[in-house]
Amino acid sequence: MTLSSLPRSLRLFFTAVFVCSVASAIYAVAQTSAPAAKPVPTVYIKAGHLFDATSDKLRDDVVLVVEGERLTRVAAASEVTIPAGATVVDLSKDWVLPGLIDCHTHLEVRADQYDPINEVRFTPFMGSFNGVVNANKTLLAGFTSVRDVGSQPFFAVDLRKAIDSGFIPGPRVVASGPGISITGGHGDMNGFAPAVSNSMYPAEKDYAIADGPDEVRRVVREQVKYGVDVIKILATGGVLSAGDKPGAEQFTYEELKVAADEAHRAGRKIAAHAHGTQGIKDAIRAGIDSIEHGSLIDAEGIQMMKEHGTYLDADIYNDDYILGKAGEFGLPQEMINKEKMIGKLQRENFAKAVAAGVKISFGTDAGVYPHGDNAKQFHYMVKFGMTPAGAIHAATSSAADLIDRSKDVGTLESGKYADLIAVMANPLDRIEVLEHVSFVMKGGKVYKDELGAAVSTAKP
């Protein structure tokens, strides 16, 4: 009797038995032949002074235990027994902090290329080359996470993937798409002939220019479709753009509300570039999560930020660079004049917001000034009202909250990524110490070690 001569029900039964038997055999072979999983390496970090960002205080003589990418224990040295032969990172003479976070960067941008003609001279590939270099500079400066809030589509998403896969070194990237702008607004290609501006970068037009609530809704959804982590919308005019005024409203309240609702519906946060007084207030009322720049905020706007829990992400360092070096690199006089009008007011209003208790995050607009100099902003945050501990929180625990990554970064606690830095003096005494970081670890891997700390082994 052959299989084909059996009734159909029996043929199906025997076929199923055969398939299951083969599958079981293949699984058994796979199980026996698969290589054994490599043991997760354990590293013991001796921290002489630890600012873990869970409070404003230092802890002395602490050991951090790292297994793989994450911390599994943070405890007093007296409570931890380090096994003989274990890998030890000796930072017992240094000050250890969480990896820093910059919430406002543009990793594809170079600070020595301000000439607007570059928009039509360079292809999008140039920004990608820039990004590889800038990401590495940022990481080596101690910034193990950043939020990239505005680049060509979808550069920051791809950069995030390349870094996360280990293909290139860099910080963890929370990626936006191009900043969403009205036609002729801060994010549009202004100042060129129609034949030029309509033909260059058509994709950026599709994903960045929106007029009216329906177009805003579509653009937000498109950006989410292509993998952004955060939405960036340009609520007012800007400084480094042609033909618009920083204080001028651009999007209406209704448009901003649609953008915020769509972003939140998709599980994303949304940041609003907003210099102007009314644009700031409209963005706050619309439910925007952070106000970028906030230069012309008034007392009412400050009170609204407190009531809504909105973060102020103010770039109060780069005024120095724009009014100093930027002119040497082709920054047009129109933009220099706008910065002269707005820079001093921004710093004064930042001080008022700090005094009022507004939530502050650390965001520098890196790319306007050279990447890697991010920590120079700490000096100005303290100068204009923050304590050193408060400024560090802005770049650690508060920044992690804003970018929605608190479960992974921002403090040094068990379960979080082993993202940490070390400096050779106390930043609570002199915040400028953070401008030169001597040791950088991200995800348990050492990327910078000027201290010779990561080579010791515990002796029996």
Exposed / middle / buried, residue 38 (Cβ in 10 Å: 0-12, 13-18, 19+): exposed
Distance CA 202, CA 258 (A): 24
Mention every residue, 6+ apart, whose C-beta is less than 8 A from residue 280: 235, 236, 272, 274, 291, 294, 296, 297, 301
Indicate whether 459 pLDDT > 90: no
* pLDDT, the chain, mean: 89
Dump pLDDT digits (tens) for 20-64.
Answer: 454 454 445 445 555 666 778 899 999 999 999 999 999 999 999
User: Are 94 and 436 in contact, with CB atoms under 8 Å apart?
Assistant: no
pLDDT bracket for residue 329 (50, 70, 90): confident
The amino acid at 319: D
- Put simply, whether the predicted model's pTM sits higher than 0.85 gets the answer yes
Dump pLDDT digits (tens) for 253-300.
Answer: 999 999 999 999 999 999 999 999 999 999 999 999 999 999 999 999
Catalytically active residues, by annotation: 232, 365
